[in-house]
Structure 1
Amino acid sequence: MRQNPQRRIALLDAAIEVLAREGSRGLTLRAVDKEAGVPTGTASNYFAHRGDMLTQVMRRTRERLMPDETALAETMKAERTQELVVTLMGQLVERLRTNRSCHLAMLELRLESTRRPELNEELSRFLGAELENNIAFNRDAGLPGDDAGIVVLYLAMWGLLVDHLTVPGILEPWSIDQLIEEMVPRILTAPSADTD
């Protein structure tokens, strides 16, 4: 059956919204059809089964969360300092704010993967590759911090984003920007100039 690529994207975006709002139990092909405003049965023409839809949703969230290449190139004109990393992390938070549903959907996918081994395998492979890409980006761009530091920063940022999405009240004494400004230099310590 011939499929419309724009409709597939619309269905995936609808699935992200349903997943973020209703959780994995509420994500059905019928719910996606309703959210997308298409005739009942449309989603079943695009996804072989629910597991297929979940895997495609995972990939679509990443497409929506990728930084704009032109904006990133402009940002990367700056000197390779911890301040640049703070800027990059701030831009990540801004993408979270404008694509909140994508992050919530990814949280739901992580939880669902604990019950679906095939999704867990796919998600682990996907997120592992994403982390490796982040490490390679940092290394290739000459940003401060070693590979382990980037992994620790990833973990710290993920924790910050999860709290900001789910229980933001616990962070109220501090702004996200302040926390990032504190976090980056503590994690990505500059190498010692003393090589004795």
Structure 2
Amino acid sequence: MRQNPARRTALLDAAVEVLAREGSRGLTLRAVDTEAQVPKGTTTNYFAHRAELLAQVMTRIQERLTPDEGQLAATMQEKPSAELTATLLKQLHQRMRADRSSWLALMELRLEATRRPELHAELTRFFTAQLDGNIAFHLDSGLPGDRITVVLLYLAMLGLIIDDLTVPDLLAPYPIDQLIEEMTRRLLPSAQ
């Protein structure tokens, strides 16, 4: 397998775009070559098969959606509070809107995982690590609430993001930032 990191990243980014636009059935090694505008067979030189590509796409999406360290550090200068939690959730939502393709690709992977046990196991590990990381960050930062609170915030934000990215007219009458503020106020014990 080839080891050019920049080319591998470009191929993974192309795979994210294909997944978001065409769905999992449209994701072929040849489609990635076309999207990345590389010679046919290039993706095959980097990924032995589609399953390997899918596994690495999850990691690439995580990289793309991870908050900027400088912005996060600046945000975390504030005192832990419900308001800070709402700010973090608003920033999460902004990242999702800014990289809509990554979120749509993740949703496609979720659907594909219902049909492929090996992907289901991999995706379960991936999302478990993500959720555990979010819980640890929240608790270690001294933000209000416990593990269950973080899971409830995760579930509420997941629903909000899915609707906002797939059927935005549904939430159009409700300002997203206000929904996030109200959700945070209602879910966090110190905000009541």
Same fold? TM cut 0.5: yes
* Aligned ranges 1:5-20 → 2 under 5 Å: 5-20=5-20
Aligned structure 1 segments of 4 or more residues deviating by more than 4 angstroms: none
The separation in 1 between residues aligned to 2:2 and 2:26, in whole angstroms, is 28
User: Gaps spanning 5+ residues in structure 1: where?
Assistant: none
1:126, 1:22 → 2: CA distance?
23
1:177 alignment counterpart = 177
> Which secondary structure state, in structure 1, belongs to the residue aligned with residue 144 of structure 2?
coil
The answer (yes or no) to whether the contact 1:150–1:188 under 8 Å persists in 2 is no
Cα distance in 2 for partners of 1:101, 1:191 equals 34
2:69 maps to 69
Q: Residue 15 of structure 2 contacts residue 27 of structure 2 at CA under 8 Å; is this kept in 1? A: yes
Q: Deviations over 1:52-92 (max 9, x none)?
A: 11111111000000001111011000011100001000100
Partner Cα distance (1:154, 1:4) in 2? 36
Q: Deviations over 1:157-196 (max 9, x none)?
A: 000000001111111110110110110011112289xxxx
SS across alignment from 2:38:
coil
SS at match of 1:190: helix
Say if 2:86 and 2:181, in contact at 8 Å, map to a contact too.
yes
What is residue 49 of structure 1 aligned with on the other side?
Answer: 49
User: Please, what TM-score do these two structures have when normalized by structure 1?
Assistant: 0.96
Matches within 5 A, 1:112-151: 112-151=112-151
Q: Residue 39 of structure 1 corresponds to which residue in structure 2?
A: 39
Task: Calculate the aligned-residue CA RMSD, in Å.
Answer: 1.1
Q: Is the 8 A contact 2:113 2:120 kept in 1?
A: yes
Equivalent-residue separation in structure 1 for 2:12 and 2:99 (angstroms): 14
TM-score of the superposed pair, with normalisation by structure 2: 0.98
CA radius of gyration, larger in: 1
Question: Residue 2 of structure 1: CA displacement?
Answer: 3.7
Q: Deviation per CA, 1:14-73, whole angstroms, max 9, x where unpaired?
A: 000000000001100000000000000000011111111111111100000000111101
